[in-house]
């Protein structure tokens, strides 16, 4: 399957390498194909195609959205709404506000009664959004390798088949998916990023922890 990734930052790059390792064809999308960090990435990962947002969205049979939350709408516009139609879109974004964290706690531009994912789903009504990968650092997204076994990735979305496909991808990446239901569940999943980042901001721990849902 072809994966188009909208966003060339740390998440886009980590997931591009992960999907490539799992045998997918990948195009990484950016507004600037000649930015030095991307040229370096491409030299080290020649099998990942690089294109603009519209090319990556067109290329992808499945799409990963991995831009800053504040600019997600702009990125979707550049990618072209029609290029998302009918496709599974893995939404990795978080609604992080411009203001700095307070004692390690990120500020969000959404309230607890509305998520960024819901805004994006409204923007792309024909796309099958699945929230995933938003509550862990990019270094742990693929084969996180915890001694305690696979950590939990909380996911949600309105399309059941899309969530099944993303669940299978997560399993192959070394994660257990925990399906929290429909798109509104993103109101609870997006703030997990705030919690996950606190040890990072306070103690510089960015690669040492992930969530695990214990069940009887
Ligand atoms: N960093 C992590 O470990 C991590 C973990 C979990 C979730 N997340 C979430 O994943 C998303 C991506 O995070 P990231 O750290 O990889 O990178 P990021 O810096 O948040 O986003 C980078 C991408 O945003 C694009 N962008 C920036 N300004 C834009 C604009 N005005 N219009 C359109 N696109 C614009 C950039 O375009 P160019 O390619 O042109 O530069 C780049 O592709 C975020 O929502 C973040 O909260 C991050």
pLDDT tens-digit series, residues 202-214: 999 999 999 999 9
> Beta strands of 39-138 (E only): which ranges?
49-52, 62-65, 88-91, 128-131
Tokens (6 digits) for 73? 């709408």
CA gap 155, 63 in Å, rounded: 16
Confidence at residue 117, expressed as pLDDT on a 0 to 100 scale: 98
Of 104, 119, 118, nearest in space to 196 by CA: 104
Q: Is 92 in the pocket of ligand 1 (CB under 6 A)?
A: yes
Tokens (6 digits) for 164? 């099944």
Strand partners, 155: 179
Q: Is 114 in the pocket of ligand 1 (CB under 6 A)?
A: no
Mean pLDDT of all residues in 128-138: 98
CA gap 177, 154 in Å, rounded: 6
Q: Is 6 in the pocket of ligand 1 (CB under 6 A)?
A: no
Tokens (6 digits) for 30? 């950016």
Measured in angstroms, how far is the CA atom of residue 96 from the centroid of ligand 1? Answer: 11
- 143 alpha carbon, distance to own chain's centre: 15
CA distances from 167 to 37, 48, 77, 122, 200 (A): 31, 23, 28, 23, 27
Q: Is 137 in the pocket of ligand 1 (CB under 6 A)?
A: yes
Q: Mind listing the pLDDT tens digit for each residue in 31-79?
A: 999 999 999 999 999 999 999 999 999 999 999 999 999 999 999 999 9
CA gap 44, 29 in Å, rounded: 17
List b or e across 178-215, with b for residues whose CB sees 16 or more CB atoms inside 10 angstroms. Answer: bbbeebbbbbebbbbbbebbeebbeeeeeeebbeeeee
Q: Is 7 in the pocket of ligand 1 (CB under 6 A)?
A: yes
Mutational test site, ligand 1, from 9, 50, 72, max ligand atoms within 8 Å of CB = 9
Measured in angstroms, how far is the CA atom of residue 93 from the centroid of ligand 1? Answer: 8
Q: Is 75 in the pocket of ligand 1 (CB under 6 A)?
A: yes
Confidence at residue 77, expressed as pLDDT on a 0 to 100 scale: 98
H or E segment and range at residue 5 = strand 2-6
**Per-residue confidence band for 191, with pLDDT thresholds at 50, 70 and 90:** very high
Mean pLDDT of all residues in 170-175: 98
Confidence at residue 38, expressed as pLDDT on a 0 to 100 scale: 96
Measured in angstroms, how far is the CA atom of residue 98 from the centroid of ligand 1? Answer: 13
């Amino acid at each position: 399957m072809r994966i188009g990734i909208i966003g060339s930052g740390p998440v886009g790059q980590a997931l591009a390498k992960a999907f490539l390792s799992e045998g997918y064809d990948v195009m990484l999308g950016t507004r600037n194909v000649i930015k030095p960090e991307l040229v370096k990435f491409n030299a080290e990962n020649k099998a990942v195609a690089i294109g603009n947002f519209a090319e990556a969205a067109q290329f992808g049979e499945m799409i990963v959205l991995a831009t800053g939350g504040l600019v997600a709408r702009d990125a979707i516009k550049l990618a072209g709404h029609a290029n998302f139609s009918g496709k599974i879109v893995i939404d990795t974004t978080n609604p992080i506000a411009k203001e700095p964290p307070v004692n390690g706690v990120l500020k969000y531009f959404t309230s607890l009664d509305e998520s960024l994912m819901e805004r994006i789903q409204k923007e792309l009504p024909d796309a099958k959004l699945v929230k995933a990968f938003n509550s862990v650092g990019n270094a742990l997204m693929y084969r996180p390798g915890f001694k305690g076994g696979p950590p939990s990735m909380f996911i949600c979305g309105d399309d059941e088949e899309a969530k099944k496909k993303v669940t299978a991808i997560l399993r192959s990446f070394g994660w257990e998916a925990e399906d929290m239901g429909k798109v509104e569940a993103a109101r609870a999943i997006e703030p997990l990023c705030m919690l996950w980042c606190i040890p990072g901001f306070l103690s510089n721990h960015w690669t040492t922890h992930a969530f695990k849902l214990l069940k009887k």
